[in-house]
Amino acid sequence: MSQWKLYPPLKKREKFRFPWLPILLIYIVVIVVAVLIRALSWPDNKPVEDIFFLQSVVVPFVIITTCLCYAGMFLSVEGYYYDVKRQCVEWDLYYLKKFSQRRLVIVGSTSVAPVDNLAVQLLKLEGQFPLAPKTPLRIKMAERFEVTKSQYIFNQLIETLADKIIKYPEVEVFYWLREGDNTTTEELRRVLDEHGLKFKNEITQLCECPDYSVLAAMIEESGNQWQYSRLIIIADLYNDETVNSMESATALFICKEYPVNEKPKPVYLYQPLTGDADLADSVPVYLAGEQTTAPKILWHTGLAQTEKYPLLNALNECKVAAERIDLELAFGEYTAGYRWLALAVASDAARYGQGAQLIAASEKGKAALTVLSATQPSALKLPEGDYVAMPLLWSFPALVMSIVAFVFSWGVYFGVPEGWSVIIFIAIMFLITPVLGVLLTRFAVRSAENDVQYPQE
């Protein structure tokens, strides 16, 4: 299955109505004509016998029924083709939802920035929306801390999450620090030790700020591990005071599973949309995954105009995320740390009753989206077919009726047929009718699967 491509939904087919009246008319007309012909050819002065009705009524009835069974076998090709095609489309959507609803749990998140209570202010729940010209750009250190700035930031982040992280001794730690060096790893380890966090795994320093593709990789990786927990720290700090981007630091503690009743409640991070996908086409498909309730708010950063307009237009058409928050408008020139800061801020919004959140970020011309929510999706239902009779099923009554028609008609007109002739006829019909049913069924299935590539998980 192509991850973010979906076959357009099929129009609902009109419910099949069995043509009782036309078929009844066929029976009546044919039998009436047969009776008239037999009456005209019946010898004069000969009383009407049972053979008259057998030849003029029963034999035509059997032959018509046989022909209708064969006609049904051919006519069922179209209905079965449509049913297979519709099932392909529904399974395509099912696998899309199953893929898009894969998730991790953000057990805890925290951020450090020059502006306090970012989520509250950006959502205009309290105070004024920060604007870039007035927003402070540099994080100020508390005077009592006689440590490096990076160590101070690490301490601020870990202090908030330590109580949760300490329950997971198998945590793997990944961090990125702008202009960081080998000494910063030791600084981070020292901060972790001060909070009683000693891990078996090495701390991994990332050479560049990761994009959301790392989230997709984490979801894939978590499916192969019984226990999965990651601490991701992004510290976007500047030594150059002339830069017009806001400093920020974000820590996300992510697990595979977490108690639903834990306080504060966890936030679910769903499968992100990443890569070179065309947003105008892929966003509606992404939202069709129904990861959770429709997102109320879009947080976006780093989007070029060629990405922003298709995204916003697609969201308008889908009628979701009517409220949009541009992080550059609030914080200043784009920087890599904003996309992770957006995750932390949106996580707070989702956790404290603001509904599902949609986050969009772009790096090097590759836009990515992900959904955060405090609720899990409902269980998926397997698609169900219409159970249209396939041509192969029609072949069995056609086979039986053809044998009955042959034996009965021969017996009426020529007497009881020889046993060998019946056996030969049955053998021939066994070769022709079921094989024809198989070929017609295979044709319908192949045609449907060629028109709609059959989805695979």
Give the pLDDT band (50/70/90) at residue 1: very low
| β-pair partners for 235 | 177, 249
Query: Looking at residue 145, what is its pLDDT?
Result: 61
pLDDT surpassing 60 at residue 5: yes
Per residue in 256-287, pLDDT (tens digit) is 887 766 777 889 999 999 876 678 888 999 99
Per residue in 172-227, pLDDT (tens digit) is 999 999 977 778 999 999 999 999 888 877 899 999 999 999 999 999 998 888 78
Record the tokens describing residue 300, joined without a space. Answer: 């976006």
Query: Between the ranges 49-58, 108-117, 381-390, where is the mean pLDDT highest?
Result: 108-117
Give the pLDDT band (50/70/90) at residue 384: confident
Query: Looking at residue 456, what is its pLDDT?
Result: 59
Q: How far apart are CA 314 and CA 281, in angstroms?
A: 8
- Helix (H), strand (E) at residue 395: helix 391-414
Query: Looking at residue 218, what is its pLDDT?
Result: 94
Q: How far apart are CA 122 and CA 130, in angstroms?
A: 7
Give 111 or 180, the one with higher predicted confidence.
111
Question: Which residues have C-beta within 8 Å of that of residue 195, sequence separation ≥ 6?
Answer: 158, 159, 162, 166
pLDDT, average across residues 304-316: 91
**264: preceding bond cis by omega (within 30 degrees):** yes
Record the tokens describing residue 450, joined without a space. Answer: 């060629």
Question: Which residues have C-beta within 8 Å of that of residue 386, sequence separation ≥ 6?
Answer: 83, 86
- pTM, full prediction: 0.80
Contact 253, 161 (CB under 8 A): yes
Query: Looking at residue 230, what is its pLDDT?
Result: 93
Q: What are phi and psi of 96, to 5 degrees?
A: -60, -45
First to last CA, the chain: 6
Least confident span in 237-251, 408-422, 439-453: 408-422
Query: Looking at residue 357, what is its pLDDT?
Result: 95
Q: Which residue has the tokens 């019909």?
A: 429
| Dihedral sign from CA coordinates of 296, 341, 106, 311 | positive
pLDDT surpassing 80 at residue 231: yes
β-strands 248-255, 229-236: how paired?
antiparallel
**310: preceding bond cis by omega (within 30 degrees):** no
Query: Looking at residue 325, what is its pLDDT?
Result: 93
Contact 195, 189 (CB under 8 A): no
Mean pLDDT for the chain overall? 86
- Helix (H), strand (E) at residue 221: helix 213-222
Q: How far apart are CA 350 and CA 297, in angstroms?
A: 10
